[in-house]
Amino acid sequence: MKIRVSAGTARILGLKKLKMDASMTSAYLMVGEHCVFNCAYCAQARKAKSRQDMLSRIVWPQYDLNEIVARIHDSTFLRICIQVVNSLGYFESVLHVIQALQTRIPISVSIRTLDSRQVKTLFGMGVDRIGLPLDVATPRLYHELRGGDFHAAKSFIIESAHHFPNKVSTHLIVGLGETDEELLSIAQEFIDARVLVSLFAFTPVRGTQMESHPAPPLARYRKLQFAVHAMAEGSIRFQNLEFTPEGELATVVDLPLAKRRRAVSTAGCPGCTRPFYNERPGGVIYNIPLKEGCEVEASDV
């Protein structure tokens, strides 16, 4: 069986020559190609004309699964993250990969599903965390950009977290056309349900339906990072935030410097860094790997 791994993962495993400007403590694997869904922003969407080896702006070269497993076992990775593309037979492939790994390294799986049996099966196989990405933060845009039922997807994520507390994550993409108010409202619902909320910045990828749509301004992204972090630690609630009539967050949530560093770092499972997943080296850095350190300037917010 062949499997794709992120370019950075391939470099650390000694399979690809690549200059690295950021550390990685998670190995990122991708199962499946040519998704049955047609998300407007995704390079693997059914109607996307992007490169076959792309997911977000990352290249995912393909290797033999047995070689990847052997190299991961000899690596210093602290976590394995499996990104699932919902192609035909995807779930059986995911199970095969998990069985092949047979590792004590914690495994996370990011998967789009509304099947509780799949979630139960994955946890039963020893998966440490499951990401159930919502991506689109408002029903106003969900059907158009992602397809499917927003309320069904949201309810499934919350229900899964109820059965597996502190084991479920979700992703929200900033910059798809949602307002700050819409995104922070749903973030609070997830936080109350003990769902880990990870923010992504929209990344225009060539060949997708949204290839000409702009990435969000860094200042807006920082404001949302600060607010979500404060809500997650319980120091503020959505109901205490103020918004303009257009739904824009009216003020920056005040955080001390140490918490600012945490707030702007990559949010995800322990060990998650996702370097340059939605950034270009030398360009705007939305999610900063915490080990890299960061000083948040006033101009950023």
Q: Which CATH superfamily does the domain covering 2-300 fall into?
A: Aldolase class I (3.20.20.70)
Segment 143-157 shows an average pLDDT of 97
pLDDT of 274 > 70? The answer is no
pLDDT of 278 > 90? The answer is no
Segment 103-125 shows an average pLDDT of 96
pLDDT digits (tens, 9 = 90+) for 38-93: 999 988 888 878 777 667 767 788 899 999 999 999 888 899 999 999 998 999 99
Contacts with 50 (C-beta within 8 Å, 6 or more apart), sequence order: 43, 44, 205, 206, 207, 208
pLDDT of 232 > 70? The answer is yes
Placement of tokens 């399979």 in the chain:
15
Q: What pLDDT score does 183 carry?
A: 98
- pTM for the model stands at 0.90
Q: What pLDDT score does 19 carry?
A: 64
Report CA-CA distances (Å) from 190 to 10, 132, 144, 161.
34, 12, 22, 9
Q: What is the 3-state secondary structure (H, E, C) of 176-239?
A: CCCCHHHHHHHHHHHHHCCCEEEEEECCCCCCCCCCCCCCCCHHHHHHHHHHHHHHHCCCCCHH
pLDDT of 293 > 50? The answer is no
Which of the four pLDDT bands, split at 50, 70 and 90, describes residue 20? low
The whole-angstrom separation of Cα 300 and Cα 28 is 29
Q: CB of 294 within 8 A of CB of 265?
A: yes
Tokens of 17: 């020559």
Segment 256-282 shows an average pLDDT of 72
Segment 124-128 shows an average pLDDT of 95
pLDDT of 296 > 50? The answer is no
Q: How many CB atoms lie within 10 A of CB 208?
A: 22
Q: What pLDDT score does 57 carry?
A: 64
Which of the four pLDDT bands, split at 50, 70 and 90, describes residue 269? confident
pLDDT of 294 > 50? The answer is no
pLDDT digits (tens, 9 = 90+) for 151-199: 999 999 999 999 999 999 999 999 999 999 999 999 999 999 999 999 9
The whole-angstrom separation of Cα 116 and Cα 58 is 30
Tokens of 115: 């099947």
